[in-house]
Amino acid sequence: MIVGPETTPSPSSPASVLAITSGKGGVGKSCIALNLAIQLARLGERVLLVDADLGLANLSILLNIAPKHTLEDVIGGTCPVSEAQVQGPEGVTILPTSSGTGRSGELRAEEKDRLRERLVEWERSFDRVLLDTGAGLSSKVTDFVCSADEAMVVTTPEPTAIADAYAMTKLMAGRTRGIGLGLLINRVQSASQAQDLYDKFARITERFLGFRMRTMGWISEDAHVAQAVHAQIPLVVGSPDAQATEDVARLAQTMRDPAAWPHPGLHLPFFERWMAA
C-alpha cells in the first residue's frame, strides 16, 4: 500500500475536484464515490461529496437519508447551501440531489453571480470535492466533468461497459481544457485481470485519441458490496475487512501521493467553473 505525504491544501486554495463518472449505469460509480469520500476523510481531508446526478438521488438511497433540501434548491435560489448540506459518515459533507433537473436558468444574472460567490466561499472550507455524476453522455453529466480537475471513468469488465467508458473518454478528450483522465476498473476477479483490461484500453486511447489513458486502479468483485448496498451502510463502515474495502483504502492513499497520482494542478473553484458553463 502506498502512503503519500500530507498534501492538504491551505484553506485559501481551491479544493481539488475529482469527477467520478461512467458511460454506462450500474457499474458501481456511486458506491465507489461514497466509500472513497469516507476513506479520504479518515486520512484527515475535509471532503465534500456532491451528488451530481440531477436525475437520481443515488447517494441518499445508499445512506438511507431523506434530505429536506437539495442541490436543485440551492441552484434554484430557494435554499442556502448551509441548509442543504448533510453530514455523512466520518465527517464527510454531502450535498444531495433529488429527481428532476437543475434550475439555475430561473435565476437572474445578478442572482446567479451572488449565488456563485456564496458557493465559492463555502467550497473553500474543503480540501477535496468528489462529484458523483450521472451516467451517460448528456450535458447534465459532461458539464460537471468538464468543471473538475480530474475525471475518473469507472467501468467493469463487461464489453458493453468498456465500450461506453471509451465513448465517455472520447467525448471528454475532445471537450476538456486538459483535465486529467483516468480509468478505474470495478468488479475485477484479480489484479492481473485489471491490468490486462487497462493495457487494452490504454492502447486503444493511445492509438485513436492520441494519449495513453492512465490507470486509477481497480476494485475487486466482492459480495460484501451488494450486502452494504442492501443494508444502506457504506462498505468501508460495515465491512472494514472486506477485499473491496482494502482496494478503496489503497485508492485513497494513492490519491494523496503526488508522485503516484499526478494531476494538472488546481484551477478556479469548482462552483465558479460549473455555474459559468
DSSP string, 111-159: HHHHHHHHHHHHHTT-SEEEEEEEESSSHHHHHHHHTSSEEEEEE-SSH
Q: Report how far residue 276's alpha carbon sits from residue 143's, in angstroms, rounded to the nearest whole number.
A: 10
Q: Where are the domains of the chain?
A: 16-276
Provide the CA 163 distance to its chain's centre, in angstroms.
20
Contact 275, 117 (CB under 8 A): no
Rounded to an integer, the average pLDDT of 165-186 is 87
Identify the sign of the CA torsion 86, 261, 222, 23.
positive
Domain 16-276, CATH: 3.40.50.300
Residue 266 CB neighbour total at 10 angstroms: 13
pLDDT band of residue 8 (cuts 50, 70, 90) is very low
Question: Over the stretch 38-81, which tens digit does the pLDDT of each residue have?
Answer: 999 999 999 999 998 876 788 999 999 999 999 888 877 788 89
> What is the value of pTM for the model shown?
0.88
- Joined grid coordinates for residue 94: 454531502
3-class secondary structure, 273 = helix
Per-residue confidence (pLDDT) for residue 173, from 0 to 100:
86
| Of the candidate ranges 3-12, 35-44, 191-200, the one whose mean pLDDT is the lowest | 3-12
pLDDT digits (tens, 9 = 90+) for 200-215: 999 999 999 998 999 9
DSSP class of 90:
G
The residue ranking higher by pLDDT, 183 or 74, is 183
CA angle 29, 33, 168 (to 5 degrees): 45
- pLDDT tops 50 at residue 252: yes
Contact at 8 Å (CB) between 200 and 167? no
- The count of residues in the chain is 277
Q: What is the mean pLDDT of the chain?
A: 86
Residue 264 has pLDDT above 70, yes or no: no
Count of other CB atoms within 10 angstroms of residue 180: 18
